[in-house]
Structure formats: structure tokens, C-alpha cells
Chain A
Amino acid sequence: MDIEFLSAVRALPLRREAELKTALSELLTRTSGEGPLTIKGVRDRFSAVNRLAKSGQIQVVKGTPGDETVIVSMNDLAAIIRAAAASMSFTDALAVAGFVPIKHRLLQSEGFKRDETLVLDSVDDSAVLDTAADPESAETTALAL
């Protein structure tokens, strides 16, 4: 996929839907070079159109404004989505997700109290050796502890 095309995708006005459609249409028309294909044209030479799309040349099929059809390979679609996501600011993404800030301040409480419930005691070495040598006494030792 053409790097200039991906750069142009990053510059699209993602938050303004009407402007986005216009800008996207202009970009795709410019990229496809020959202008939108007719439905008949696509039908008559679909293999060639498909091959061009697979090779990274996006194909636009004529339609009423906003209803044009775009033929794009899966690889290129993934690249376009990545490029669009990279251009989106965090607050833009939040707005898309429907986030509305609540005009109310929340404060995190801080404070440090050492956990006294955990213990690291010293162990009698001889008891450990006995345990290793005699598995039966291990149970006894453990119970005694």
C-alpha cells in the first residue's frame, strides 16, 4: 500500500462525518487514478479489477454520492484501519466510545501501612536436613512447626 495514501488517511477529518465522506471520496478518486469504475465495467472485467485491488490499487465503483463501493484487499484494509487509529487522539477515541466526563471530582485516597500479616521466620537447619533424609519425619516436623 502506498505510504502517501496512508499518510493522507492519517490526515482525514475523522470526527466530522460529512467532511470525512467528502475527503475520503476525493482521496480514493485521486488514488484510483482512472476515476470510479462503472458497475458494467467491473462486471465485464472483474478478474482484472480484483487483481488490481489485491496488488494495492484500491478500486472505486460508481454510485450516488456516499453510496460508491470500494474494493480493497484485506491487507490494505488492515493498514488503513491502523493508520486511521494512529491519527485518532485519546479524547477523540473516548468520544467515539460515547464517553461523557462527569463534572465531579473524585480523589484517590493514599496511605501506606506495612502488611504485618506476612512472616519470614528463620528455620532450624537441622530440621530441614532431617526432613530431606526422612520423608516420614517431614510430616512430623511440619506438624510440630
Chain B
Amino acid sequence: MIYVLSTQSLLDLLGGKPSIMNWLSTVSMQDVEISAVSIGQALDTIQQKPNAAQRKNFERQLDRIVTTVKSSDGLISFDEGAARIWAELESKTLAYRTRDGNTTELSHASRMVVATALRRGAMFVEDSQPYHAAIAGLQVVSP
């Protein structure tokens, strides 16, 4: 089984969230994939940090995650097939619950990540979200 991390799961890994760390210790390195779009989203999030030293540290650790994923060909590009799926997702209302309990819509970039997981026929790794049920065929694991 292939697992594609959501961008928030990637950020949680970067931050050492115990539930995702424990879960990833049970998964083979060859089964974990990350969308190239998530790398961009993660860098964008990091760049919003005001502290330069902290940004540098986050970027260094993110690079290590990327190196690890690339070593098993797990860094996935956004290709034509994913683009076609993404176009379908764009027409949907996809509710995303933020950590503070509010609800917003899933961003364009995050829809690209979901499309990548669907394209790969992979299990999507993300905390339970309202929009998951709105996408037919999306398999989710929430560590």
C-alpha cells in the first residue's frame, strides 16, 4: 500500500507530532510518498515564520525529509492524470476543518495533493476531515 502524506501531515512530521511519528515508524520507507505540491506548500508556510533562524532550521529538516522520500522515488510530480482529477475536485465544495474548529474550503493547492493521491491509487494520510466523505474513491488513514 502506498501512502501519500497531506501537506498538514508533512508539517506535523516536521514538527514531530507524536501520532504521525509513531505511525510512520510502522510504515516501510518505500511506501511513503509526498506530492511535490506539498513541498511548495510547506515551504510557503515556513516562509511565513518571522524568525530567520527558525525558518532556516525548518527548511533544513524539510530538506532531509525530501531527501529521504526521493531516495525511494517517493516524490510525486503533479502530472496530467492528476490535473484531470484536480479539475473535477475544483468543481466541488470541500469543507476543511481548521485546528481552531472553524470550517473553510480546501485550497486549490491542497486539492492538487488530494488529486495526486487519487491518481496514485494511494491511501491519503490526514486527520479526519469533513471533505473526505465528499470525494468518491478517496481512501484515508488518520494516524
List chain A positions with a Cβ less than 8 A from chain B: 85-94, 96-112, 115
Contact = CB atoms under 8 A, between A and B. Distances in A.
Interface residues of B, number: 44
Contacts, number: 107
A-B complex: 4 closest residue pairs judged by Cβ atoms: A101-B16, A112-B105, A93-B29, A99-B64
Interface stretch (B7-15, B80-88, B116-124, B132-140): B7-15
A97 B74 CA distance: 15
Contact of B29 (A89, A111, A112): A89
Given A85-B72, A106-B45, A108-B41, A97 B64 contact: yes
A90 B25 contact: yes
Interface string B51-67: 00010011001001101
Interface of A is mostly: loop
Given A90-B25, A90-B32, A101-B21, A108 B11 contact: yes
Contact of B15 (A91, A98, A99, A106): A106
Contact of A92 (B29, B42, B45): B29
23 contacts: A85-B30, A86-B30, A90-B25, A90-B28, A90-B68, A91-B21, A91-B24, A92-B29, A93-B68, A93-B71, A97-B71, A99-B65, A99-B68, A101-B14, A104-B54, A105-B12, A106-B46, A108-B11, A109-B45, A110-B106, A111-B104, A112-B107, A112-B108
B45 A101 contact: no
A88 B98 contact: no
A107 B11 contact: yes
B128 to A, nearest CB: 15
A111 B107 contact: yes
Given A93-B68, A112-B104, 10 more contacts: A89-B28, A92-B29, A93-B29, A94-B65, A102-B15, A102-B61, A106-B14, A107-B98, A108-B110, A111-B104
